[in-house]
Structure 1
Amino acid sequence: MEITFLGTGAGLPSKSRNVSAIALHLLQEENQIWLFDCGEATQHQILHTSIKPRKINKIFITHLHGDHIFGLPGLLSSRSFQGGDDAVTIYGPQGLRDYIVTALRISKSHLNYPITIKEIKDGTVIKEDNYTIYVKELDHGIPSFGYRIVEKDSPGELLVDKLQAKGIPAGPLYGKIKSNEYINTKDYGILYRKDFLGPDKPGKIITIMGDTRYQESFTSFVERSDVLIYEATFNAEQEDLAFQYFHSTTKQAATLAKEGNVKQLIMTHISSRYQLADYEDLLKEAREVFRDTELANDFYHHQIR
């Protein structure tokens, strides 16, 4: 699994940061891509990456502010001209359906692929073959949501020593044992996978939060995330301003990461008031609370290990 930040700014695009969009690459799922938010000019940002719009098969919208959705009609329309004919499912708050349908209808845009729009609420659970996505409502003045993506556990390592102790030589049989709950063999009888595998490997957890004020109650939602992506619109000194505008600070992002016992925090949604010279200070503020913190810039690419 990999993450590409297509837009990391807050509210307005700037010369160095476009508005919000994050791509999650599911490499084991035929290189499918899930897109989280789609601010203005997201399709332009994609042109600077190796992402193919036809690979985007799910889009998750955190909330309906323009810097998170104004690029959606354009991306959906352009996808028709870029070899995209597979279905797309779009998740987001109530009102998302009206927005998409109206934009496409008035612009007389025709999509050559089907779309399904599913409006979410607090507590929604989305189940996929290898993933479960949990939804939590945040605190942003309008309905805004976080998505916790939990990968299914995978089978543990094959215990070769146990197989050899039973006299089973290396070969195709090893793969069959790992791929099936049990197999019935002529020479060795019934072999159960559970007898020859180590503990399951826990799936990855990625939590992507929409715009929000900081709340201690979010801790259980982000707990044990391998990666927490959280907004840091303001620096630590502007906590009052962050509260007034329903946003969070660098220090609050780091505090949530620390309290949630996450492995890594990546801060995004940075106000345009901060320039390149300020980024080191923003990162320092967060790392004083939670060391494993990164500050995302546009096109920052992160591999989840």
Structure 2
Amino acid sequence: MELEFLGTNAGVPSLQRNVTSIALRMFEERRAFWLFDCGEATQHQILRSSLKLSKLEKIFITHLHGDHIFGLPGLLSSRAYQGGTTKLTVYGPPGLKQYIEVSLMLSQSRIEYELEVIEHTGGIVFEDEDVTVESLLLDHRIDSYGYRIAEKDKPGSLDLKRLAEYGLKPGPAYGRLKRGESIDLGNGKTLHPDDVLGQPKKGRIVTILGDTRPCDNVIELARDADLLVHEATFMHDLKESAYNYHHCTSIQAAEAAVAAGAKELILTHFSSRYKDQEHLQPLLDEAQSVFPKTLLAEEFMLFPVLRHT
């Protein structure tokens, strides 16, 4: 599991950075990737990356401002031409379905695959046997949501030496033990999973926020997260501007990471006044003075989601 940023600018694109989109790459876990927001030219950014739209499984939209959704119609209509034939589900706030339907209808775009749009107002928006995605409302000019992606804990690894001592060879019994089932050894003894399984592997937690001022739901979504992605539109000397525009500063993002007990923080959604990495360095310095394990998002750089114990 790793993150790839396809756009890190706030508001409008610049020559250096595109507007917001983040890919959560889960090729080992799901053989797919998920997209969080889809600003203008996101499909162009995907073409410049190693990602393939045929592997796109889900899109999560934080809010309906243009720099987060103007890339959706083009990406959805182009996906089939790039081998995307499997079902695609898009999640987001009320109004998203109308935006997609009207855009595709007026442009007479044809979707050659199953497209599902699920509108929500927070809560558990997706869950399967491997992962849960929870969303909560943030504090922005329009309804903006953050997402908490939580892997479920996995059974520990089988102790092959112990299994051999019990006379078991690779086969269906291994799978049953991994699923938590006990095995009758046929000699009056029963082998329980705890006898041959190591410690469970704790699931990782990734929190990806939409645009927001500081608020309690940021802390709830980021609680004990292995990785928190937080907007940092301005340096802290512009905290009044940040408040007036319903955004955060780099220090406020770092303070949220501390309060939530997050393990790592990545800053993104930078004002275009900070033109390049040199101009962004002061934002990083500010954040690291509060929360040392802070990084700046860079487009096309891969950020692994580490498993913290």
**TM-score w.r.t. structure 2 length?**
0.93
CA distance, structure 1, for counterparts of residue 169 and residue 5 of structure 2: 43
- Alpha-carbon distance, 1:63 to partner: 0.2
Deviations 1:20-51 (A, max 9, x none): 00001112344211100000000000111110
Counterpart AA for 2:48 = H
| Aligned counterparts of 2:220 and 2:68: Cα–Cα separation in 1 | 25
Q: Which moved more, 1:194-203 or 1:67-76?
A: 194-203
Residues 184 and 190, structure 1, Cα contact 8 Å, conserved in 2: yes
Change (3 A) 1:227 1:270: same
**Does 1:5 find its partner at 2:35?**
no
Q: How many residues align?
A: 303
State the partner residue of 2:66: 66
User: Which one is further off, 273-282 or 290-299?
Assistant: 273-282
Question: Structure 1, unaligned stretches of length 5 or more?
Answer: none
2:198 match: 198
2:252 maps to what in 1? 252
**Larger deviation, residues 185-194 vs 224-233:** 185-194
Q: Distance in 2 between matches of 1:109 and 1:183?
A: 55
Aligned to 2:100: 100
Question: Cα gap change, 1:161/1:171 in structure 2, threshold over 3 Å: closer, same or farther?
Answer: closer
User: Which contiguous aligned blocks of 4+ residues in structure 1 show a shift greater than 6 angstroms?
Assistant: none
Provide the identity percentage. 46
CA RMSD of aligned residues (A): 1.7
Kept after mapping to 1: 8 A contact 2:10/2:20: yes
- 2:170 matches 1:172: yes
User: What SS is found at the alignment partner of 1:112?
Assistant: coil
1:143-222 to 2 correspondences below 5 Å: 143-160=143-160, 162-163=162-163, 167-169=165-167, 171-172=169-170, 175-176=174-175, 178-180=177-179, 181-186=181-186, 189-222=189-222
- 1:163 Cα offset (Å): 4.2
CA contact (8 A) 1:148 1:205 kept: yes
Secondary structure, counterpart of 2:81 in structure 1? coil
CA drift of 1:215 comes to: 1.9
Shift of 1:193: 1.4
Which residue number in structure 2 is paired with residue 284 of structure 1? Answer: 285
Displacement of 1:188: 7.4
Q: Are the aligned partners of 1:176 and 1:183 in contact in 2 as well (CA < 8 Å)?
A: no
In 1, the alpha carbon distance for the partners of 2:182 and 2:287 equals: 49
Query: Is this contact kept in 2: 1:216–1:256, CA < 8 A?
Result: no
Cα distance in 2 between the residues matched to 1:129 and 1:205: 15
Give 1:125 shift.
3.8
1:96-146 deviation line (CA, Å, top 9, x unaligned): 000000000000000110111100103244212310011100000101000
SS of 2:82's partner is coil
Contact 1:206 1:228 survives alignment (8 Å): yes
The reply on whether 1:48 has 2:85 as its aligned counterpart is: no
Q: Which has the larger displacement, 225-234 or 177-186? A: 177-186
DSSP-derived class of the 2:102 partner: helix
Deviations 1:186-233 (A, max 9, x none): 467432213321331110000000000012453232111010001000
Q: Which residue of 1 aligns with 2:57?
A: 57
User: Equivalents in 1 of 2:33, 2:218: separation in Å?
Assistant: 26
Structure 2 unpaired stretches of 5+: none
Distance of 2:2 and 2:71 partners within structure 1: 22
